[in-house]
Structure 1
């Protein structure tokens, strides 16, 4: 039975959680502070999920998440907070401390459904036995060097100046960040790395570094993955346009690189299976649906699961894990953030010019968002003309 530990300094919140989870299929524990939480943790072999309030007077939730990340990295960490603490939620997610978050007052069905889906996602990863398939590729399971260093500096609240000092040691990635900041999307118009990082944002910066480092792991394979990165970069721009059109607001920083990272599984599979993946998959003139089927035939796994698995391993936000896992099947019952996944699905197919084929995944995404092809026409025309 899954074990969940809830931490909140407000007695009424703990009472509400006890009532809500009383008859569910979980073994639940409740603590009003870090001392009680640690005592509970020490009595148990393992806690599957931690749900903690962010704003507590004596020991804030960010520190609680840090403690549990170090003590029990396999525990799913979830942040709970009021709407007034949006910055704290963003901090928890951007520092890879929390995979998911809920606001008070929460919707009972939403919080129960989301927790169930998070556990289902873990079960799916265990069932595919991906770990056994890639056990000889240790440098993928270990976070890339620069990403790890930058992530640690962000977690320690170091200055932009210090973070940029680390990045500037790698001239190639520095030039790539400046190029992205000065692109039509960000329009930073700067040659200064610190200014570029401020335009891009720290959360986007981390994911850009991760994507770049993975693509550079085996130098002879870099050019073979260029088409994937070009597709992903354009998909991210289309995703931002779709998001702004649909929600009438800019993309939240937490998911700012959803389009950029959605196909990262292909790059990882290229690193793992090398020339075989390049010649049999990337060089083949086949659709994405055919790619998924061919991957399963040739390698017993597909890039969607591979991407989701490693983002989960690296404790990325659940939104980005779902984008990787489900952008080919946006109506999957396990998805928590269906509209986000649907937007990336549409963005990817618009970039490839496959929207007129009306594949099932494209139609599912339209249905989820309750829009039609005509709604997409202005964005389609914009990117066709580029």
Structure 2
């Protein structure tokens, strides 16, 4: 069966929305991102993970009231509150304020992508959608699942699910147009560190000033002051150290690491502060959000970054170790290349559309959904009106 059929089946068999960083185990790390899509399952607007058939927990029997209202609008198009609730039910109530922000951000990005594809007149034929849904019903039947009941358990109407299938098929068409073998090979050649297994280890200090300009400026100044103070004291340690240049650099690196860990414990708002901001080893793609990973991989050993802004806040990063990977042939990792290319293509589309969009986020309702088995969740993307976005430059690996 087609790979897309398996991915779309995952939606109704219990796949979750792309998990926000805080939903990971062990302790959450702001700046961490969802795991990279598996080979053979290119990322799209939904980016579902594919569980084994039958993995959806049995309904609890407790009726769940479908919420009403609009969570946000994107250039006049609504994102219904129920779309947020579907994903929010996966998380403990204590995590809802943070989870809601990340879930809603993902839903907004999905809608921006769908608007872009509609403006390019990329469409999925109704007959193709019908065929896929029939295949999904057959998959569910094999797993002793009922299509209608599965939709109901996820507070998902057939029209909403059909819209999701349509959006994914449109994305797959766009990805196929852009992600030619030539484009994928060029991307692979320019970014060997993504595919060769290179890992880096870093510490970071996170501040979360929100969107207030004054607080953002203050956070930048705080991080810059921390960096300057560490650099000065580390250089003093290097100057005082006996021995040759290598010995002095070793002393400097040791002092930077020591002082940075102390500063992280004192100032950072990330749970990693308990470990001096240590994030352990991570790859170039799939573990951290892109601005963070990009900055970390450009650093030399025991070099501190400038202030890095991500959706989680502002970071100061220190590289503490690097494990070089092993060269791979394109044919060996082609599907991984396609998955990463798709992820960066998604980011390029969102980056093109978001600054031009009119986005309104409404206050969260007074009540939040009770936790439910992670059975879940598909962002709702109603058909948008036509627009005329500028073309997006596909990722080149630069």
Higher helix share: 1
Q: Which TM-score band applies after superposition, normalised by the shorter structure?
A: under 0.3
TM-score relative to the length of structure 1: 0.25
TM-score (norm 2): 0.24
Between structure 1 and structure 2, the one with the greater Rg is: 2
Q: RCO greater where, 1 or 2, for CA within 8 Å and sep 6 or more?
A: 2
